[in-house]
Amino acid sequence: MKIFMATMGLDIGGAETHIVELSKELRSRGHEVVIASNGGVYVPEVTAAGIRHYQVPMHRRSLGDMMRSRALLKDILRKEKPDIVHAHARIPAFLCGTLQRSLKFPFVTSCHGVFEVSGVLKLLSNWGERTLAVSEDIRDYLVREYGVPAEHITLTINGIDTNKFSPDVSGEAVRKEFGLGDGVVIGHVSRLDQAACHTARQLIELAPRLDQAYPGIHVLITGGGDSFAQLKERAEQVNQGMGRACVVLTGPRTDVNAVAAACQLFVGVSRSALEAMAEEKPVVLSGAQGHTGLFCPELLQKAIDTNFCCRTDPVADEETLYQAVTQALSLSEEEKQRLGAYGRQTVQTYYSVQRMAQDCLDVYEQVRRRKYRVVMSGYYGFSNAGDDAILQSIHEGILAASKDISVTVLSNDPQLTWNLCGLEAVPRFRFWKVLGALRHCDALLSGGGSLLQDRTSTRSLMYYLSIIRGAELFGKPVMLYANGIGPVRKPENRRRVKRAVERAALVTLRDRSSANELREMGVKRPDLYVTADPVFNLPPAPEERGEELIRCAKLPQGASFAAISVRNWPGTGDFPKQLAGLCDHLRRIYGMEILFLLMQPGHDRTTTNQVRELMEEPSYLLDTACTPRELMAVLGKAKLCVAMRLHTLIFAARMAVPCIGLVYDPKVESYLQELDMPSAGHVEHFDLEQAVACADDMMAHYEENLERLQEKSQALAKAALHNEELLLELLEKKTKK
């Protein structure tokens, strides 16, 4: 990609160094990087790395500078045509935001700190389509103060190049340049502006006291800013009073690694503190926003939470800072080495520049403009494991087939959909938002699942048909994606489904019985593709996670078990009692523990509890919130699956676990036929004797059933891949038109 970075300047500072290291790492990975800023000491370093730099005065709020900056940015962006614009700090973000609509670029921002902002400035702030925050408290600040959706914020880090900042770096040249001799040197690196120079000012004032405690000590302060001249003047006064050059202000420098190497102790915060830690220097965390003290293992989480900026602690007075510095200097050499080694280990574990770059690339991937945009309509955002699995598997199948397709979901709960899949979603019942998504898409995917049916209600059917019709009115092709059709009972509904299917640009069905149902409705089109449910290609969670969840259910360790999945359904009479008898039989005769699963807790819990209460043998319940992948991992450990829920049966088949169906809907019966697995009977007239006979036959021919299921599952997984192939053909055909 070509990535355009916009920032205020490239002088000494934590955010500035972050941008430099990020840009260099992205460049090393083969991406083209362009930076616009007001310039600074790091410009030669980035240009030497093959990064183009444009001078733009984005460091001042004056109207003239901002108008000039906007005009320059507009010309640069038109010339460069970047794939991503990434703004750092509020002024660059605001200016880029004013250009986004007309130039139509993907827009990402980074927030490196918290600020007191109100009124017009707050209203003018623009945090882009996605935001990177360098600490949890900054993320919370963005949500609280600016209303940025939490799902649009990605936590990242201040990545440190641990090769550049290493204990092997020599500080001798710096010591020689400033006449530091062989004595103790306390280092501090910061942007020396009014808002950030608190600690530098304190160190200057403390120099005489520190010299009394440690004769010959030096305080080495690196950085530039609008307070530099004032601090320099005060340092000279202090030095005159001491009769020697104890305090040294170097001004802005790019060889910060050599500066840190020249010190025995570092005092500071944020990125500069992490850089010193990478060089195995003991660090006192103290800055303008707070004082945490000498960094040690006990302070790790607190430091991470504020990005090593100490915002949760009070700001130090001179006495507090003096005590922290003298405490650190009084440590034995062995203790200093131990703290130094721990600091470097912390940086290597949590703050690698490689992870920082990958965080950004992951966010860029979320907003990158893709060739095709599709909208998915289905039963999404209802906490139903089966439909959530459909959504995940379709999305992953699309990603595997092409990186040029973006997906927007019509969801009952967009936040839930984001948390599950990281997919952009709009509320399925917000009329104008749904229309907006349809108007801007290249195709509508209706499915998967059994959407075109009126068994639950005509209202549900009409919803999905209206979404299809809306897409058609905008001239968008409609793909019925791995649909299960029916039952459709009312004559007028059958006519509606027939018309929708005949108008669709592409129809794929998840089983042969759905194709038969459409033929019976009078659908004549020859191109009804029978593929398979996309969940057959969804990978499970790691095996260890399945084992952990089984332990959560209190199942005896290593026990053989049968997984049972039921749902609430009217008109089942004494079905719970009959099923309880079947569960008792499985435990008594085959030694299998009984573990109940909740695929959609709100719809499954009542009947599950009824069956458990009616059992004579003990049973277990997995009552932990689980993702579809996690449920698959649990099922993968089962000996047998007995289920009403269609996708429990599909999960079991995907994991090659023989299964017995409890039929409440024709879709269950039809898929049992696809899997060549038996039914224990219909739940509305369930017979215990028949169910026990079915289970006994399953266990008597267990290995044969297992082998047959493995073959079926592999074939269905292969067939499911055809859905994405056909989708790509449809999108490419539309583009050619």
**Measured distance CA(237)–CA(660) in Å, rounded:** 88
**Percent of the chain whose pLDDT exceeds 90:** 85
Same structural domain, 68 and 200 = no
The per-residue pLDDT for range 23-58, each reduced to its tens digit, is 999 999 999 999 999 999 999 999 999 999 999 999
Same structural domain, 682 and 639 = yes
Same structural domain, 146 and 227 = no
Cis ω before 448 (30° cut-off from 0)? yes
Q: Could you tell me if residue 659 is inside a domain?
A: yes
Residue 113 confidence (pLDDT) = 84
* Residue scoring higher pLDDT (366 or 427): 427
The per-residue pLDDT for range 219-257, each reduced to its tens digit, is 999 999 999 999 999 999 999 999 999 999 999 999 999
**Measured distance CA(473)–CA(463) in Å, rounded:** 15
Domain boundary among 353, 387, 408: 353
Residue 135 confidence (pLDDT) = 86
The per-residue pLDDT for range 609-657, each reduced to its tens digit, is 999 999 999 999 999 989 999 999 999 999 999 999 999 999 999 999 9
Cis ω before 487 (30° cut-off from 0)? yes
Mean pLDDT of 714-732: 93
Give CA torsion, residues 665, 671, 677, 682, to 10 deg.
10
Same structural domain, 498 and 378 = yes
Same structural domain, 525 and 635 = no
Strands 593-597 and 620-622: parallel
Partnered with residue 185 across adjacent β-strands are 218
- Looking from the CA of 65 toward its CB, the CA atoms found within 13 Å total 13
Helix, strand or coil, per DSSP, at residue 483: strand
**Measured distance CA(530)–CA(104) in Å, rounded:** 40
| Structure tokens, 426 | 């709009």
The per-residue pLDDT for range 480-508, each reduced to its tens digit, is 999 999 899 999 999 999 999 999 999 99
Residue 233 confidence (pLDDT) = 96
Residue 62 confidence (pLDDT) = 87
415: confidence class by pLDDT, cuts 50, 70, 90: confident
**Least reliable range by pLDDT among 120-129, 171-180, 264-273, 721-730:** 120-129
How many domains, in total, are found in the chain? Answer: 4
Same structural domain, 523 and 549 = no
CATH code, domain with 104: 3.40.50.2000
Q: Could you tell me if residue 143 is inside a domain?
A: yes
Same structural domain, 475 and 414 = yes
Residue 12 confidence (pLDDT) = 82
In 3D space, the residue among 40, 62, 66, 64 whose CA is nearest the CA of residue 53 turns out to be 40
Q: Is the distance from CB of 346 to CB of 277 less than 8 angstroms?
A: yes
Q: Could you tell me if residue 27 is inside a domain?
A: yes
What does the H/E/C string look like for 592-661?
A: CEEEEECCCHHHHHHHHHHHHHHCCCCCEEECCCCCHHHHHHHHCCCCEEEECCHHHHHHHHHCCCCEEE
Q: Could you tell me if residue 364 is inside a domain?
A: no
**Measured distance CA(273)–CA(223) in Å, rounded:** 14
* Residue scoring higher pLDDT (518 or 14): 518
Element (H, E) at 55: strand 52-55
Same structural domain, 242 and 327 = yes
Q: What is the DSSP letter of 224?
A: -
118: confidence class by pLDDT, cuts 50, 70, 90: low
Taking the chain, what is the end-to-end CA distance rounded to the nearest angstrom?
28
- Looking from the CA of 346 toward its CB, the CA atoms found within 13 Å total 30
Q: Could you tell me if residue 736 is inside a domain?
A: no
In 3D space, the residue among 620, 619, 616, 656 whose CA is nearest the CA of residue 635 turns out to be 656
Domain boundary among 318, 353, 388: 353
- Does residue 351 carry a pLDDT above 70? yes
Q: Is the distance from CB of 248 to CB of 178 less than 8 angstroms?
A: yes
Element (H, E) at 712: helix 702-720
- Does residue 119 carry a pLDDT above 70? no
Mean pLDDT of 129-134: 93
Mean pLDDT of 684-701: 96
Residue 125 confidence (pLDDT) = 82
- Judge residue 297's burial from the number of C-beta atoms within 10 Å of its C-beta, 0-12 exposed, 13-18 middle, 19 or more buried: exposed
Q: Could you tell me if residue 725 is inside a domain?
A: no
Same structural domain, 326 and 411 = no
- Does residue 733 carry a pLDDT above 90? no
Residue 368 confidence (pLDDT) = 87
- Does residue 572 carry a pLDDT above 90? no
Residue 503 confidence (pLDDT) = 96
Same structural domain, 646 and 716 = yes
**Measured distance CA(58)–CA(51) in Å, rounded:** 19
**Measured distance CA(75)–CA(95) in Å, rounded:** 13
Residue type, 587: R
Domain that holds residue 624: 543-720
Residue 641 confidence (pLDDT) = 98
Mean pLDDT of 434-460: 93
Q: Buried b / exposed e across 366-398, counting CB within 10 Å, b at 16+?
A: bbbebebbbbbbbbbbbbbbbbbbbbbbbbbbb
Residue 117 confidence (pLDDT) = 65
Q: Could you tell me if residue 358 is inside a domain?
A: no
Domain boundary among 126, 155, 184: 155
735: confidence class by pLDDT, cuts 50, 70, 90: low
| Structure tokens, 111 | 């927030």
Instruction: Give me Rg for the CA atoms of the chain.
Output: 32
- Does residue 13 carry a pLDDT above 90? no
* Residue scoring higher pLDDT (689 or 115): 689
Same structural domain, 593 and 705 = yes
Residue 369 confidence (pLDDT) = 85
Provide the greatest CA pair distance for the chain: 102
Residue 307 confidence (pLDDT) = 86
Strands 130-133 and 218-222: unpaired
* Average confidence score pLDDT of the chain: 93
Q: Could you tell me if residue 726 is inside a domain?
A: no
In 3D space, the residue among 384, 299, 379, 387 whose CA is nearest the CA of residue 342 turns out to be 299
Same structural domain, 665 and 639 = yes
The model carries a pTM of 0.68
Strands 290-294 and 283-287: antiparallel
399: confidence class by pLDDT, cuts 50, 70, 90: confident
